Amino acid sequence: MSMPQSSSALRVAVVGVGYLGRIHAEKYLGLADVELVGVCDIRAEVARAFATSHDLTFFESANELVGRVDAVTIATSTPAHFEIAKLLIDSGIHVFVEKPLTTTSREARKLTELADSKSVKLQVGHVERFNPALLAARDKLRGVRFIECHRLAAFKARGADVDVVLDLMIHDLDVILSLIDCKPVAVSAVGIPVLTNRIDIANARIEFDNGAVANVTASRVSMNAQRKFRVFQRNQYLSIDFGNGEVDLVTHEPGAEADARSLDHQRWNLEKGDALLAEVEAFVASVRRNEPCVVDGWDGVAALELAEAIIADIERHSLPT
């Protein structure tokens, strides 16, 4: 049941009511002073059923949203993001776009530049930025030198419209770029198709201009899910399990001999929380207060540029079929 609305309620809609779009819609329904006006999906029967069950308006196309809403979440297939977002941004509507922002960094840059020129908020759905485990550990991460992360998942058809680099790895690429505040200068990557005609498993080594290195693995052909992120810096090692919210911090006392007595091991478990709700609330807040988005369009551009460099290197190393 939706919350009671005030006359100043922010009017929102969701375009694409598949798995993620439904969750976005449900989060909006639970927010005070936010009115979920309706939903839109090319699968009319699916969207109509959702709209009817939640007493919402069904819109046949995104064009119908112009003049009727203040902000929109786009949770369609990735190839559809650009045209829908461009239409809405050009109409002065604030937009939250699920990751990846678009299929190419060129499209992402165009959208971001348009949003800037229209003074419109553009947030990208890199949900790990709102993960309680990362938020709790972030203030410990200074002077990062090496990052190793593994994101493994069972195959799901809903992510197969793009390869695993844009489907799964891009989550970690965004987090890495947010922690290492400098540009990547070299990429070496390998990857292969397994269940689809696209890359289903990939590994990349990324070097940054300050000497930091990240080693990233993503797979959507795993029997067991894993979302682990390990960070190494001078005298310190931090491990984050994005899945269960467990954080381990091992600190070596400077100047002491490297043995068990000189190591301070802290471990804490966090409530999993609701990272998607947190990012929806952050988007609403940025629109209401006219503040920068936590994960803005330029973050989406940077993640896509790095993803494209990884895909290009994989293609250079691919064996002829």
Mean pLDDT in residue range 183-202: 94
Same domain membership, residue 256 and residue 235: yes
How many domains does the chain divide into? 2
User: Is residue 249 in a domain?
Assistant: yes
Contact 239, 229 (CB under 8 A): yes
Same domain membership, residue 144 and residue 113: no
Same domain membership, residue 122 and residue 221: no
Instruction: Evaluate if residue 270 carries a pLDDT over 90.
Output: no
pLDDT at 158: 66
What tokens were used for 267? 């471990």
Q: Which residue has the tokens 């759905």?
A: 125
Instruction: Evaluate if residue 2 carries a pLDDT over 60.
Output: no
Question: What domain range is 201 assigned to?
Answer: 129-270+306-317
Mean pLDDT in residue range 278-302: 98
Contact 60, 37 (CB under 8 A): no
From the list 62, 6, 61, the residue with the least C-alpha distance to 35 is 6
Q: Express each pLDDT in 213-241 by its tens digit.
A: 999 999 999 989 999 999 999 889 999 99
Same domain membership, residue 147 and residue 187: yes
Same domain membership, residue 83 and residue 192: no
Mean pLDDT in residue range 244-250: 92
Strand partners, 149: 216, 229
Please provide residue 75's backbone torsions phi and psi, each rounded to the nearest 5 degrees. Answer: -130, 40
Q: What is the CATH number of the domain that holds 82?
A: 3.40.50.720
Same domain membership, residue 117 and residue 14: yes
Instruction: Evaluate if residue 81 carries a pLDDT over 70.
Output: yes
Instruction: Evaluate if residue 289 carries a pLDDT over 90.
Output: yes
The answer to whether the pTM exceeds 0.75 is: yes
Instruction: Evaluate if residue 33 carries a pLDDT over 60.
Output: yes
